[in-house]
Amino acid sequence: MSRVGSAAGVVVPAGPTHARQSQAWAGSAQAPVLEAARLALARDLQLAFRKRGQLVQPLAFFAMVTMLFPLAISPELSRLREIAPGVLWAGALLASLLALEFLFRDDAYDGTLEQYALSGQSLTWLMFAKTAAH
């Protein structure tokens, strides 16, 4: 993975400047991609817990939808039992839509996505980590 390091390490005529260069660039070994993805995941989770509002809002919405349904339709138990799975899933879907907005917006604004794109790491893994945190 340490492309930079190895590219500089290939230098054959090890003159004084070359030796100095390869040493300098070797100091920054590219992190393994899974480690990078782990950090991206940890970062997003930590951010989510710092921003309580964004974390609580979809959950509160989900609770409200599920509570309002019996009030709106009928308190009859057999009927509720029938529609419960549908309500839960639809409620969860809508709640995750609420949080979807925050998934990439902040990162796009402050340039984090750019840094990911330029990190030389696999974007697939980084984005997988982000969506997993979501």
Partner 1 sequence: MHDERLDVEDLHLWRGDHHVLRGVCFALCAGECLQVTGPNGSGKTSLLRTVCGLMYPEEGRVLWEGRDVRGDLRTFHCALTYLGHEPPLKAELSARENLRYWIGVRYRVGAAALEGALERVGASPWCDRLVRTLSAGQRRRVALAGLTLSMVPLWLLDEPTTNLDTEGQQLVGSLIAEQLARGGMVVAAVHHELPATVRDLRRLELAA
Binding site for partner 1 (CB under 8 A): 3-4, 7, 10-12, 17-18, 20-21, 24-31, 35-36, 39-40, 42-43, 46-47, 50-51, 106, 110-112, 114-121, 126
- At closest approach, how far in Å is the CB of 37 from partner 1? 9
- The span from the first CA to the last CA of the chain, in angstroms, equals 28
Q: What contacts 83, CB < 8 A, 6 or more positions away? A: 69, 73
CA distances from 3 to 23, 31, 73, 91, 117 (A): 14, 11, 62, 47, 16
Angle CA(120)–CA(123)–CA(125) in degrees, nearest 5? 115
Q: Given the complex with partner 1, which of 15 and 75 has the nearer CB atom?
A: 15
Q: Given the complex with partner 1, which of 86 and 120 has the nearer CB atom?
A: 120
Q: Given the complex with partner 1, which of 17 and 78 has the nearer CB atom?
A: 17
- At closest approach, how far in Å is the CB of 27 from partner 1? 4
Q: What is the DSSP letter of 85?
A: H
- At closest approach, how far in Å is the CB of 70 from partner 1? 37
Give the Cα separation of 46 and 58 in Å (integer): 17
Q: What is the DSSP letter of 29?
A: P
- At closest approach, how far in Å is the CB of 100 from partner 1? 19
Q: Given the complex with partner 1, which of 27 and 85 has the nearer CB atom?
A: 27
